[in-house]
Amino acid sequence: MTGGSGIILTKAGVTLAGKPILSDLTLTLTEPRIGIVGRNGSGKTTLLRLMAGLIAPSTGQVSVDGAAPDDRKAMLTRLGILFQNPDHQILFPTVAEELGFGLRQMGQTEAQATAALRALLAAEGRSHWEKAATHTLSQGQRHYLCLMSILLMAPETILLDEPFAGLDLPTQIRLSRRLAALPQRLITISHDPAAVARCDRVIWLDAGRIKADGPAAPTLAAFTAAMAELGERDADTDLPG
């Protein structure tokens, strides 16, 4: 399913409050599984927001399968986003309403949307969720609900923002297995090397610039060594000026 031209950034940069967050990023993201790593403050989340069209580039250009990422209608079938915190994503009081929202945005009737969401819930072994109140679900269940909402839209690419953060080990295993089976292109943003170790390609972002870009094993080895060196230095002891 990973067709299209992918996500293309051309000399893209983001400046917020006069501070450069991302600088001169030129990337063509087409591989089925891509990881983006970096320490906190490296610009990972800003890059996700840029690719998702949630912020505009201050310089350069971004396209998603040939469309501008802020074209919300075009993005419905091109790009999905699974945020780290499901509570930032869930809008409706019941599971059925949450799942049906995107389908109605795509022009489906109430009956069509209901049939589609029921089919997905059945395929996922969660038919009994349909009338459940979203606030009664556990964090892991809410996270999975957000994923199902994305899958109903069948986008070409899914952006994953720290997808395993805050989940217990059994939930991480279940989610990892489900993600691995998806036909979509997955772009996983994480500070944890283990979360992207099986990716086809890993990009190391440092201070808003590309530090390394290549196969997972050597890129993550260099990243891990650099993080270990920073840890040995007690690099967070200095107070800001």
Segment 127-149, tens digit of pLDDT: 999 999 999 999 899 999 999 99
Rounded mean pLDDT of the chain? Answer: 92
Lowest mean pLDDT among 68-72, 116-120, 155-159: 68-72
Q: Does position 32 have pLDDT exceeding 70, yes or no?
A: yes
Q: How does DSSP classify residue 39?
A: -
Q: How many angstroms separate the Cα of 224 from the Cα of each of 166, 214, 230?
A: 22, 15, 10
Task: Let me know: does 185 contact 32? Beta carbons within 8 Å.
Answer: yes
Other C-beta atoms closer than 10 Å to the C-beta of 118 total 15
List, as own/partner pairs, every contact residues 50-57 make where C-beta atoms lie below 8 angstroms and the sequence separation is at least 24, other chains included: 50/9, 50/12, 50/14, 50/22, 51/7, 51/9, 51/79, 51/159, 51/187, 52/79, 52/81, 52/159, 53/79, 55/14, 57/12, 57/13, 57/14
Residue whose pair of structure tokens reads 């389908």 in the numeric block: 103
210 pLDDT above the threshold of 50: yes
